[in-house]
Amino acid sequence: MGAEDFAVLVGGAAPTADISVHRTWERREDQEDEAALWQERMVEIDTGLAPGRSEHEQGFGPGTTLAQRCAAMSARLAADGIGYSAHTLADKRRKWKAAGENPVVLLPAARDRRPGGFTDPRCLTAMQDVVARRAHDSDVTIDLIREEVEDLLHSRYGAELGDPDAVAALMPSRSTFYLRMKESGLADALDRPTRARAALAATPPLPHGGREAVLRPGQVTQVDTTPLRLLARGDDGRPTSTEMTTLIDVANHSLCALMITPSRSKDAESGQPGQATRAIDLTLMLAQALAPWPVMPGWDPLSAATTSSLPFGALSAADARFTEATAARPVIRPELIIYDQGSPYVSEHFTEVCDRLRIARRPARKRSAPDKPLVERFFITLAHRFSQHVRHGWQGRSHKKRGRGIDRMPLYTIAELQQMAQEWVALEYQQTPDAGLRDPFRPGVVLSPNGMYAVQVARSGYRAVPLSPAQNRFFLLPRWVTPGKGGFMINYRTYQPIAQDAGHYREILLRGSSELPGRNGQWECRFNPYRPERVWLYDHTAGTWVTCDFRLGHLLTDPWTADMWQEHAEQHHAAGGSEKDEEAIALSLAQRDRRRRSRRPPPKRTGKEPIFQGLELETEEPSRDPYADLEEFDLSTLRPYPAQPISPWAPLAVDAVPALRSGAGGTEPLEGEQAPHPLAALFSDDGDGDGPADGSTAGGPTDVCEVVDAELVDDLDPDGDVGGEIEDDVWEA
């Protein structure tokens, strides 16, 4: 009825109705009969005749007035036990007529009860704060809670209100205070055990910042790290625990990136430091989210983007990185990341990378899982739908449900678990319908994360922002170094420029100081602790990079990491050496790999002992093809050069090869005859029919050089019978 083109075709003009009534009323089955009954009553009051009857009831005849009919209806309802006065029925009739005789307005409206009634909201907040403070203490009574709430209100609002009586007015009566404690559930919380009260106090009712509307991919994302209940094979071939960090988009529940890292606690006996997710792992995961995933060898063909619900044609036209070998996972550039307050997320390096990519960050509250509900739910989904299928290493959901002999199984490496998890995401998670994903124009259709992304990207659009290898280097860890003639040091490792960048490095040495404020003349350098054999020195004046390699890199032929270097440096220092002796540490690290290869191979259940090197990041410029600028050449025009016998008895050629002439013998080719090749003069006819048939094309004698058939001699003068003069002549030849 609120549309502009609405019109009543039969029955007169369109009645003026309050459209807001139709929009606010929710149709319920239990109110349909009541609405029909009130409709009959209003029609009888208005006309004097009930619907479907031919005779008037007493008090509703033709000679009665509207007031008399309202009084008669009030008396009838009173006889049935319903108390409505004639004045109230007259008001209901006027409201019913104004709404176009719509019985919806006659139903009693649901009264929205205010939470806390008429109690001051400041008092309700103080009640929740006091109960939360007492969550870790022994149980108390409501009377003590009331006293502490009163003291808290005086301390908070005493200076603001300035009058003790005004502060006392914030407190309700004792009976009302008990009622509010019961209605809000705080009274029941006080009766729970201490552990339950502590868990309830640490769980807020709503997510941080409220429930916000998210309409486009990347508008809001959530990231979190959790221990993964999967054992993996570590660098030493022994079982090690793992952690997983995931980045999930709120708009379509797509998994933007995931990162699995080794995790171990500090060893008190050996003093070996612990290992967990670091800032470099978060930045590598963030770089993974900004690029398509490739389909690895051995993956299911259905994990490709071409076989999924992603708009592959439109994405490949907008972004050249989408090929047929791209996995079924969209590329989503985060705009806002909600993270917990762990040390890697608040690190200076992660903050710098987010600022460089213009990604806003918003911290969640401590011990508040509802602030990141999607990523917390994904961990449960991963355990139920992926981890339990990895039989070699799955520890179960608790110690009571853990299988036997888990640590003696042939475990997977962390790199293999990473590839398996990515395949599962592209094959199952991204293509499984989710009940929380629905298109507004098709609310009855349940969509998958890829399907929801296809709907949203058609509305919001897609803009490819590929990062070059030079831009990817800013994801690496920064170090401020002082370049010298012999190079510079990072963790007591000397790095020197490669031959191609030696001139650029010499220019940096001539400048001396970097003239950056607060850096004491040092220059910025970026390196990957998982692949420390190469670093990049940044020239901020020109915006270019100088590639530098480890000085003793030729000694370390096997893959190594900065953690392995630090481990051998500590061992060398414990043996009485110095951590600055890079030659001795490099030799010790090289001997470790040699001993591993030379000793008895490990049992089949462990296999090879690979090292964890994180995720690969495109930081190297692609090598330039030296033949890229050359024109295409027809290989069919080339002629093979005849092979010549090699013998010490063969004489030297007397006649030189004649110079090439333009054309073929100075004559033009006949019609229908192919022009001779310019190099045809170098090749004589070898009898196979491919070469020239006469000597006219050579422009000289038929035989360019004399070919002498000679027998190959294995040993010249084995008995010494040949004369010395002949022997000298042979070797001179």
Three-state DSSP state, 173: coil
Quick one: 592 exposed, middle or buried, by C-beta within 10 A (0-12, 13-18, 19+)? Answer: middle
pLDDT digits (tens, 9 = 90+) for 519-535: 889 999 999 999 999 99
How is residue 154 written in tokens?
Answer: 């005086």
Mean pLDDT over residues 547-574, rounded?
90
Q: DSSP character for 271?
A: -
How is residue 322 written in tokens?
Answer: 């989408």
Poorest-confidence range of 42-51, 183-192, 232-241, 684-693? 684-693
Strand-pair category, 438-439 with 360-363: unpaired
pLDDT digits (tens, 9 = 90+) for 392-430: 888 876 777 777 777 677 888 888 999 999 999 999 999
In three-state form (DSSP H/G/I as H, E/B as E, the rest C), the secondary structure along 376-407 is HHHHHHHHHHCHHHCCCCECCCCCCCCCCCHH
Strand-pair category, 360-363 with 336-339: parallel
CB 86 within 8 A of CB 74: yes
Strand-pair category, 336-339 with 488-490: unpaired
β-bridge mates for residue 496, sequence order: 549
Which residue is it, tokens 């919001």?
460
Strand-pair category, 221-233 with 336-339: parallel
Comparing C-alpha atoms, which of 335, 251, 273, 330 is closest to residue 567? 273
Most confident range (mean pLDDT) of 8-17, 433-442, 679-688 is 433-442
pLDDT digits (tens, 9 = 90+) for 311-329: 999 999 999 999 999 999 9
Per-residue pLDDT at 673: 53
H helices, E strands: number in the chain: 21, 13
How is residue 523 written in tokens?
Answer: 């220059």
Poorest-confidence range of 22-31, 254-263, 385-394? 22-31
CB 93 within 8 A of CB 69: no
Mean pLDDT over residues 230-253, rounded?
88
How distant, in Å, are the alpha carbons of 233, 262, 423, 604 from that of 607?
10, 18, 23, 5
pLDDT digits (tens, 9 = 90+) for 273-296: 667 889 999 999 999 999 999 999
β-bridge mates for residue 326, sequence order: 294
**pTM value?**
0.60
Mean pLDDT over residues 353-368, rounded?
86
Quote the CA–CA distance of 653 and 145 in Å, as a whole number.
116
Mean pLDDT over residues 172-199, rounded?
89
How is residue 310 written in tokens?
Answer: 């992603």
Quote the CA–CA distance of 86 and 68 in Å, as a whole number.
9
Quote the CA–CA distance of 717 and 703 in Å, as a whole number.
33
Quote the CA–CA distance of 301 and 369 in Å, as a whole number.
36
Q: What is the rounded average pLDDT for all residues in the chain?
A: 80
Quote the CA–CA distance of 304 and 235 in Å, as a whole number.
32
pLDDT digits (tens, 9 = 90+) for 590-641: 887 665 555 555 555 444 556 788 888 888 887 777 777 778 778 788 777 7
Who wins on pLDDT, 155 or 608? 155
pLDDT digits (tens, 9 = 90+) for 686-713: 444 444 444 444 444 444 444 444 444 4
Quick one: 52 exposed, middle or buried, by C-beta within 10 A (0-12, 13-18, 19+)? Answer: exposed
Who wins on pLDDT, 699 or 346? 346
CB 245 within 8 A of CB 261: yes
Sheet architecture: strand order including 531-539: 477-481, 523-528, 531-539, 544-550, 493-497, 488-490
- The answer to whether residue 21 scores a pLDDT higher than 50 is no
- The answer to whether residue 145 scores a pLDDT higher than 90 is yes
**Longest CA–CA separation in the chain, Å:** 161
Quote the CA–CA distance of 371 and 338 in Å, as a whole number.
8
Per-residue pLDDT at 250: 93
**Is the Cα dihedral 697, 699, 702, 705 positive or negative?**
negative
Comparing C-alpha atoms, which of 424, 454, 425 is closest to residue 437? 454
Strand runs (DSSP E) across 159-238, as ranges?
A: 221-233
Q: What are the start-end ranges of the H helices in 60-141?
A: 66-79, 86-98, 121-133
Strand-pair category, 488-490 with 438-439: unpaired
CB 223 within 8 A of CB 281: no
Which own/partner contact pairs does 684-693 have at CB distance under 8 Å and 24+ positions apart?
A: 684/642, 686/642, 690/639, 691/639
Comparing C-alpha atoms, which of 616, 323, 351, 353 is closest to residue 471? 353
CB 310 within 8 A of CB 328: yes
Instruction: Count other Cβ atoms within 10 Å, centred on residue 121.
Output: 11
How confident is residue 33, by pLDDT bands cut at 50, 70 and 90? Answer: confident
Comparing C-alpha atoms, which of 146, 104, 101 is closest to residue 126? 146
Task: Count CA atoms within 13 Å of residue 615 on its CB side.
Answer: 28
- At position 393, the amino acid (one-letter code) is G
- The answer to whether residue 204 scores a pLDDT higher than 60 is no
Task: Count CA atoms within 13 Å of residue 517 on its CB side.
Answer: 0
Quote the CA–CA distance of 693 and 684 in Å, as a whole number.
9
Which own/partner contact pairs does 492-495 have at CB distance under 8 Å and 24+ positions apart?
A: 492/569, 492/579, 492/580, 492/582, 492/585, 493/532, 493/550, 493/551, 493/565, 493/582, 494/550, 494/551, 494/552, 494/582, 495/535, 495/548, 495/549, 495/550, 495/551
CA angle 322, 328, 332 (to 5 degrees): 70
Quote the CA–CA distance of 608 and 414 in Å, as a whole number.
13
β-bridge mates for residue 337, sequence order: 221, 361
Quote the CA–CA distance of 664 and 662 in Å, as a whole number.
7
**Is the Cα dihedral 691, 693, 699, 705 positive or negative?**
positive
Per-residue pLDDT at 523: 94
Q: DSSP character for 294?
A: B
pLDDT digits (tens, 9 = 90+) for 645-658: 666 665 555 554 44
CB 466 within 8 A of CB 318: no
How distant, in Å, are the alpha carbons of 31, 354, 536, 540, 673 from that of 486?
89, 35, 16, 21, 67
Per-residue pLDDT at 30: 59
Strand runs (DSSP E) across 234-378, as ranges?
A: 239-249, 255-263, 336-339, 360-363
Quote the CA–CA distance of 608 and 597 in Å, as a whole number.
10
Who wins on pLDDT, 32 or 217? 217
User: Quick one: CA torsion of 692, 698, 704, 709, rounded to 10 degrees?
Assistant: 0
